[in-house]
Amino acid sequence: DVQLVESGGGLVKPGGSLRLSCAASGITVSIAWMNWVRQAPGKGLEWVGHIKSKIDGGAADYAAPVKGRFTISRDDSANTLFLEMNSLKTEDTAVYYCATEDSSGCIDFWGQGVLVTVSS
Amino acid sequence: DIVMTQSPDSLAVSLGERATINCKSSQNVLYSSNNKNYLAWHQQKPGQPPKLLISWASTRESGVPDRFSGRGSGTDFTLTISSLQAEDVAVYYCQHYYNTPYAFGQGTKLEI
């Protein structure tokens, strides 16, 4: 069975940085397309970005609100996905979900999520 | 960028009755080369992460009850629950995966 377990969330001040991790089991992150999706408190889902599989080039793509501030990467040896978040703003406060994507682009499995709070 | 708009924002339906949620994309999400609609429906129950219900606009995931069905093509889609059960209380989101940035509708809250 696929399991995705996010960690690394917490409280950070505006302008600060945080790195989220998503430990995967049941899948191999190097051959999967992996996403980050966030959900602000009481709000809907917002796509943050994804990283292509190694065989497809491994490049990442981002939503406009986070481009230039967030970076998606992975550690193949640890089978873990990361989201490096810099220059954090209060509007980045959300639960961040790690999710897999099938070969067609459909997001097909979600982790449990981790809360990030950006506040002074 | 493709924008997804759902209607209604919330819906109350009696147990055993039909529930219908609409989703409209600002651009066509039907790929002419394979005649497939790049449209998914996700269900998020209170306090839980989302779960994929339907892909390709109408293909139910394994284990999803057949009371859930998806229809539509191009820019207009619907999710129908034929006979509402108590466990179907959730927020439902449509999502396109035609290109990036992927986008979700604002969600429809379904209540009894």
Q: A59 in contact with B at a CB cutoff of 8 Å? A: no
Mutate to test the interface with A, among B102, B108, B109 (most CBs of A within 10 A): B102
Question: Mean of the pLDDT values across residues A79-83?
Answer: 97
Q: A82 in contact with B at a CB cutoff of 8 Å? A: no
Query: Is residue A4's pLDDT more than 90?
Result: yes
pLDDT, position A103: 86
pLDDT, position A7: 98
Contact at CB, B40 and A46, closer than 8 angstroms = no
Q: Which of residues 41-70 of B touch A (CB under 8 A)?
A: 42, 44, 49-52, 55-56, 61
Query: Is residue A61's pLDDT more than 90?
Result: yes
Question: Mean of the pLDDT values across residues B50-79?
Answer: 98
pLDDT, position B34: 93
Higher pLDDT, A103 or A67: A67
Q: A42 in contact with B at a CB cutoff of 8 Å? A: no
pLDDT, position B111: 97
Query: Is residue A86's pLDDT more than 90?
Result: yes
Please provide the distance, in angstroms rounded to a whole number, between the alpha carbons at the two ends of chain B.
35
**pLDDT per residue as tens digits for the range B18-54:** 999 999 999 999 999 999 999 999 999 999 999 999 9
Reported confidence tier of residue B94, pLDDT bands at 50, 70, 90: very high
DSSP string spanning A12-66? E-TT--EEEEEEEESS-GGGSEEEEEEE-TTS-EEEEEEE--GGGT--EEE-TTT
Reported confidence tier of residue A83, pLDDT bands at 50, 70, 90: very high
Length of chain B (residues)? 112
Q: Which residues of B touch A47 (CB under 8 A)?
A: 100-104
Q: What percent of chain A has pLDDT over 70?
A: 100
- Indicate the DSSP class of residue B102: P
Q: Which of A63, A102, A113 sits opposite B101 (nearest CB)?
A: A63
Residue A51 is which amino acid?
I
Q: Which residues of A touch B38 (CB under 8 A)?
A: 104-106
Distances (CA, A) of B70 to B53, B76, B80, B110: 9, 11, 6, 16
How many whole angstroms separate alpha carbon B83 and alpha carbon B67? Answer: 6
Q: In terms of CA atoms, which chain A residue is nearest residue B96?
A: A106
